[in-house]
Structure 1
Amino acid sequence: MELASTQQGYGPARERFISKTFNHLGGAILSFTAIEVILFKTGVAEVLAKGMMTMSWIIILGAFMLVGWLASRAAHTVESLAMQYVALAAYILAEAIIFIPILFIANQLAPGAIANAGLITVLATVGLVGVAYMSRKDFSFLGSILKWAGLVALVLIASGLIFGFQLGMFFSVAMVALSGAAILYDASNVIHHYPEDRYVGASLQLFASVAMMFWYVLRILISLRD
């Protein structure tokens, strides 16, 4: 597929695609936020959190990684626009549920950490997207690095579950770096490679990377309050 980036700039169709993708990303973030607010205001989140917190954090981390992988697969394989919307909605809902325990703990142990983690994540995302857009560099070479790093992360999570050790601060910092690279990679693919009718799937992929960064930034902030 010919790259859309040129020295003169992107064509009108590509610009519309990029705009639609990032508008959908913003909509996904707002939808995720709205679901969490509803769950916490109604008390459903507390009930779910107490049930989920009986499980090992390693299991929750594994579920988080698995759902992210499924989202990536959907973003790359689903052709129908309607099915892309279904996949995006299902992923947002799944992430909202998976996030409940860590948000509940943050509310209890580290007031203000959620807002701070959200601000850090948004600023980092805007900065990384800006780098991809302004530099017009193709960061697709990061793909193989991200695959191997993601595999290593899954192995560490599985090992922690099997052998009973905790994944501490170093792991969280490494995962923030990994998620930053993923956002840069995804933004580059949006600019250069995604078909222009796949803006919903592209936004799903980006949202998965943004959610991963938010998760691990929040883990770091909670750890700093312990």
Structure 2
Amino acid sequence: MELASTQQGYGPARERFISKTFNHLGGAILAFTAIEVIFFKTGIAEVMAQAMRHLPWFLILGAFMLIGWLASRAAHTVESLPLQYAALGAYIVAEAIIFIPILYIANQVAPGAIATAGLVTVLATVGLVGIAYVSRKDFSFLGSVLKWGGLVALVLIGCGMIFGFQLGLFFCVAMVAFAGASILYDASNIIHHYPEDRYVGASLQLFASVALMFWYVLRIVMKLRD
């Protein structure tokens, strides 16, 4: 999707778009949390965690990336607002499912780690969004850095799975920094470039970056509590 430039300024319509986008982000986070609570309270999480343990990680990651790509593309391209919401909802559910194994393990071996990681992620997200909003600096230059950084991360993850070596604490810290840059980049695009009728797609993009940060912050917290 080509992001529309909005160099002419920030009128009331733009501010309403920004507000809608961040409100939808908050709704997505709450929906993700509610789904996980339901999964764990009903025992579904334990069943799914046990089942997913036997699946190749590359298969899970590949399916997740495909769903994420399709949902993001749909949210950014379809004209129908209900279909945009359907794409956002599908992505939230996909994230909730992919998070089940790590949340299940964290709940078993590191009580309190989930709440700590969630708080750190929310505070970091608020801080980074605040920087983008208050400074009004255009961070679109981060796009190429994120593209190559993401490619390197995928190669490292792939090599780790193929050759059986562990990606340790420093990799997790690097991925938290990567996710932070993604949040800053997405927030900047929301403020400066996104078309004003695409607040659902914009919130999906930002939610994906927040979820990535939460994943690796949780891994760091778990490692520190070992």
Residue 171 in structure 1 maps to residue 171 in structure 2: yes
Query: What is the aligned partner in structure 1 of residue 219 from structure 2?
Result: 219
Query: What is the aligned partner in structure 1 of residue 86 from structure 2?
Result: 86
**CA separation of 1:66/1:181 partners in 2, compared to 1, >3 Å: closer, same or farther?**
farther
TM alignment of 1:54-93, pairs within 5 A: 54-55=54-55, 60=60, 67-93=67-93
- Alpha-carbon displacement from aligned partner over 1:79-134 (angstroms, at most 9, x marks no partner): 43222111100000000000001001111111111000000000000000000000
* Secondary structure, aligned partner of 2:183: helix
State the distance in 2 between where 1:45 and 1:122 align: 23
8 Å contact kept, 2:71–2:90: no
2:105 alignment partner AA: I
8 Å contact kept, 2:75–2:85: no
**TM-score if structure 2 supplies the norm length?**
0.91
Query: What is the aligned partner in structure 2 of residue 133 from structure 1?
Result: 133
Percent identity over the alignment is 80
2:6 corresponds, among 3, 6, 9, to: 3
**CA separation of 1:213/1:66 partners in 2, compared to 1, >3 Å: closer, same or farther?**
farther
TM alignment of 1:38-187, pairs within 5 A: 38-55=38-55, 60=60, 67-187=67-187
Query: What is the aligned partner in structure 2 of residue 30 from structure 1?
Result: 30
* Secondary structure, aligned partner of 1:99: helix
- Alpha-carbon displacement from aligned partner over 1:5-51 (angstroms, at most 9, x marks no partner): 74xxx210001000100110000000000000000000000011111
Aligned residues: 223
State the distance in 2 between where 1:34 and 1:56 align: 27
* Secondary structure, aligned partner of 2:194: coil
- Alpha-carbon displacement from aligned partner over 1:120-151 (angstroms, at most 9, x marks no partner): 00000000000000000000000111111111
Query: What is the aligned partner in structure 1 of residue 203 from structure 2?
Result: 203
**TM-score if structure 1 supplies the norm length?**
0.91
- What RMSD, in angstroms, separates the aligned Cα atoms of the two structures? 1.9
Show structure 2 runs of 5+ residues with no match. Answer: none
* Secondary structure, aligned partner of 2:111: coil
